[in-house]
Amino acid sequence: MIMGKRSTEYKFIKEKHCFSTQALCQILDISRQTLSDWEKAGCSKISRGWWCIDDVLRWRGLVGNGLKTEAEAKTDKEKTSLHELKLTSEVNLKQAQAEAAQIKNKVSQGEYLEKSAVVEDLHRFLTVFKKSLQNLSRKISAEYAHYVDEIEARRIEVTTSKIINDALNQLSITGVYEKSKVKR
């Protein structure tokens, strides 16, 4: 700091010892851009071009908190929490973007399938499966028709059809088939 220009480098504003932007940058050995970035991040400035060195050092965490008024403590807490909240949100956003990119890569590599394609294929398969099971009772009764009379073959078809439909209903509702006790 150039001692000959004291009046232009520091002064008291609102009973606080303040330095000009240029003087503060020289004292802290930082650039004007760094100081501007600190201001955007929440470091307080007394007025245009003037900075309270105590406030700047406290904001940077280089000076102990000392005794603060309740209003100053609340302001510092709000600034810190907003800054931390912003950082946390940015980290969460980056993680979500990375996860989305990983999923997109796996989809393009064929490791994942689109939900609509899976649902369509399952629907088609289950429809064919249901119709095949429902036709099974006729095929069974036709196989036994040569060994039993016509009425007994019809009873076999009806009984088999009831068991198959009961199983299909249970599977469609609960996803589990439990054999029901058939009364004879």
Using one digit for the tens of pLDDT, what is the confidence trace for 12-28?
888 888 888 888 888 88
| 68: pLDDT strictly greater than 80 | no
Query: Which sequence spans correspond to the domains of the chain?
Result: 8-72, 115-173
| Closest of 50, 60, 61 to residue 23, by C-alpha | 50
Q: In what order do the strands lie in the sheet with 16-20?
A: 10-13, 16-20, 50-52
| Alpha-helix residue ranges (DSSP H) falling in the chain | 6-9, 21-28, 32-41, 53-60, 70-108, 115-144, 150-173
The residue assigned the tokens 């429809």 is 127
| 120: pLDDT strictly greater than 90 | yes
Q: In terms of pTM, does the model score above 0.75? A: no
Query: What Å distances lie between residue 37 and 5, 31, 75, 134, 144, CA to CA?
Result: 26, 10, 19, 73, 88
Using one digit for the tens of pLDDT, what is the confidence trace for 133-158?
889 988 988 888 889 998 998 999 99
Residue 52 contacts residue 16 (beta carbons within 8 Å): yes
pLDDT of residue 54: 85
* Residue 30 or residue 62, greater confidence: 30
pLDDT of residue 17: 82
| 80: pLDDT strictly greater than 70 | no
pLDDT of residue 70: 56
| 183: pLDDT strictly greater than 50 | yes
